[in-house]
Amino acid sequence: MFDLIKSNTRRSWILIAGFVIVVAAFGYLFGMLFGGGFIGLIIAIGIALVMSWSAYAGGDKVVLAVSRAKLVTPIDEPRLHNLIEGLAIAAGIPKPKVYVVEDPSPNAFATGRDPAHASIAVTRGLLEKMNRMELEGVVAHELAHVANRDTRVLMITATLVGVVVLIADWTLRSFFWGFGGGRRGARDRDGAAIFVLVGLVAAVLMPLFATLMQAAVSRRREALADLTGVKYTRYPPGLIAALEKLKSDETIVQSASRATASLWIESPLQREKGLFGKLNHLFDTHPPLDERIRILQEL
């Protein structure tokens, strides 16, 4: 298990480094296309830094607001607070703030830039459909995300995807309005056409590539959180039973979106079926539930 944890952590940071390279390369290409040279690279890195800092400083508040999560006290939800407090002690981190999302679909997520500024939110459906051991398994999984700083990693990757999409949108709009001629005067017609074609292909494919990288980072962190969570509870069957219930429940979280999907313990979005569903799985932010259950059963 410890070897898998180290492997997942190492690969996650390699993927994030790849993310930064993609943003930088796309920014440089954007500058070359429009005659700015390294200015495009500088602008891309600047935007990435500003957006990443914004996500780092206040992204958790945005996520909680978008998810319609409401802060609850120990008087409101004594069982939930008791579980979180005990597991936070086992994890060696401060007790996070506790939120409830009034939604019948069972699910949960954690957010916050570090353990000192963390929050855990669970849906009403999770509280009603899980017994104590199952709920403990889910809470331990979310606390693992906090302890492993996954919430910070996922916010950074989501922000970098946003930067790539933003630059791609600028590129396509500029071509549409005819502002891509910065370097064409210095080249012959065929060379300019090839250069522009490369820019257009990159503008279309880069966002897809960035989204695939984001999904890969998220899937790695989910597998790591499962393993770390059972370390806190010392009872894998609790999380296994919870994941089996999540698998059988096909309801969706109404306040969830693709922007926040990677934070939840299980994808809160509609499960697509058929050929389109199989293709859509490439962009899934979570490993298949069957795979997660199988790994836990082998512990």
Cα–Cα distance, 289 to 268 (Å, whole number):
13
Instruction: Report, in angstroms and rounded to the nearest whole number, the Rg of the chain calculated over CA atoms.
Output: 21
Q: What is the DSSP string of 198-220?
A: HHHHHHHHHHHHHHHHHHHHHHH
Say how far residue 206 (Cα) sits from the centre of its chain. 18
180 near 33, Cβ under 8 Å?
yes
How far lies 1's CA from each of 27, 129, 140, 144, 226, in Å? 39, 29, 17, 14, 11
Cα–Cα distance, 291 to 102 (Å, whole number):
29
Which residues are annotated as catalytic?
A: 142
Tokens of 176: 């549409």
How far lies 58's CA from each of 54, 72, 118, 200, 215, in Å? 6, 20, 12, 34, 22
Which residues does 297 contact at the CB level (< 8 Å), separation at least 6?
Answer: 236, 240
